[in-house]
Structures are given as C-alpha cells and as structure tokens.
Amino acid sequence: MRELKLDPVSVSDELTTGLAAAGLPIDDIGEPGRSYFRLADTENQIFGYSGIEAASHDAVLLRSMLILPAFRSQGYGRRLAVMTIARTPNGSAVYLATTNAARFFEHLGFAAVGRDQVPQAILSTRQLSGLCPASATIMKLTRRPAT
Ligand SMILES: CC(C)(COP(=O)(O)OP(=O)(O)OC[C@H]1O[C@@H](n2cnc3c(N)ncnc32)[C@H](O)[C@@H]1OP(=O)(O)O)[C@@H](O)C(=O)NCCC(=O)NCCS
C-alpha cells in the first residue's frame, strides 16, 4: 500500500458531509475536546477521516471512523484505525461505539464490553448518551495494534 499520512483537520463541510453520508453522528462534532484527522497519501489524495474524543484523563472515545466509499475494502480502514489509535495517549483506555462494524474492530484488538464495565465518563459522552442507538455495541481496545 502507498505511503499514508494522518493529518489533523478542523471541522469542515467535507468532514461533516462525509460523516453524515455514512450515517455517523455529526450533531456534536464541533464541541470541545474532539480532535479530527484526515488519512491521505503524499499527493493529498484523501481516503478517510477519524476522530478522538477525550472523555477523561484516562479514557478516550475513538469516533467518526470513515473511509470514503470508493476506497473501502482495500485495507485503508485498518490503516486509519491503527494510525488514529497511535495518536491516543498511551495510558488511556480506548472505547468506541458501533452499530455495524464490530467485526472490523475485533480484528484490530477491540472487544465488546457491557455498559456496566464502561467508565461513566465514556457513557456520558454525547455519542453514548444520546446520539448512538442504545443497541450500539460498545467496544474497548484490549491490545494496541502494531503500527
Ligand atoms: C468501517 C470502515 C471504516 C472499514 O474501512 P475499510 O477500508 O472498508 O476496511 P478494511 O479494508 O481496512 O478492512 C479490514 C478488515 O475488516 C473487514 N471489514 C471492513 N468493514 C467491515 C464491517 N463494516 N464489518 C465487518 N468487517 C468489516 C474487512 O473485510 C477486512 O477484513 P480482512 O482483513 O479479513 O479482509 C468503512 O467500511 C466505513 O467507513 N464504513 C462506514 C462508516 C462506519 O461504519 N464507520 C464505523 C463507525 S464506528
């Protein structure tokens, strides 16, 4: 696979439009404590986006994971996830919520956890407390993938 880079991006129309088209939450994306990234190659061809939300000093939410439709199923999602996880603080637990990609995240070292095992700071994020359906699977990173 070609050389890829993960650059910080601000909340923009391109980010919002991409997330909305994939059915991912956008209502809270401009709120404080969130950082977003863009996966691109050295010629600035964009493949997707991702986000990290700091829920507390030791827990973060991986969110807004998106590979643009034309580039799916070619390994970019895995690269996006690995590179984004590498941007999370080493001592922090990493959580996410998903309605349709649990198997994808299992391959990356995440495991489903019950809500009673999830810190309140994560449950209180806008995504977990309202924007994601209650049926969403909550997952925790159990081993950091090799970069
Ligand atoms: C989920 C998503 C980021 C995966 O990106 P991708 O580039 O298609 O994934 P990859 O090509 O890196 O796939 C890696 C592996 O996961 C599998 N996989 C990909 N998407 C999957 C999904 N939704 N469910 C189950 N498995 C999936 C692939 O088959 C592949 O398996 P393999 O390594 O055994 O062949 C992408 O499909 C996407 O943007 N979906 C829409 C937004 C979304 O649902 N984001 C997740 C919200 S939490």
Q: Mind listing the domains of the chain with CATH numbers?
A: 4-141 (3.40.630.30)
At 27, is the pLDDT very low, low, confident or very high (cuts 50, 70, 90)?
very high
pLDDT surpasses 80 at 146: yes
The answer to whether the CB of 41 falls within 8 A of the CB of 4 is yes
Nearest of 72, 57, 58, 59 to residue 22 by alpha carbon: 72
Q: Which of 4, 50, 73, 85 to mutate to test the pocket of ligand 1 (most atoms within 8 A of CB)?
A: 73
Determine the Cα–Cα distance for residues 96 and 88; give it in Å rounded to an integer. 13
What atom in ligand 1 is closest to the CA of residue 100? Answer: 23
What Å distances lie between residue 82 and 5, 27, 35, 39, 95, CA to CA?
A: 12, 26, 16, 11, 14
Average pLDDT over residues 69-93: 96
At 87-126, the pLDDT tens digits run 999 999 999 999 999 999 999 999 999 999 999 999 999 9
Rounded to two decimals, what is the model's pTM?
0.93
Compute CA 107 distance to the chain's CA centroid, rounded to the nearest angstrom.
Answer: 15
pLDDT at 63: 96
Q: What is the pLDDT of residue 134?
A: 83
- For residue 114, give the 3-state DSSP assignment: coil
Who lines ligand 1 at CB under 6 A? 22, 24, 65-67, 72-78, 96, 98, 100-101, 103-104, 107
- Burial label, 137 (beta-carbon count in 10 A; 0-12, 13-18, 19+): middle
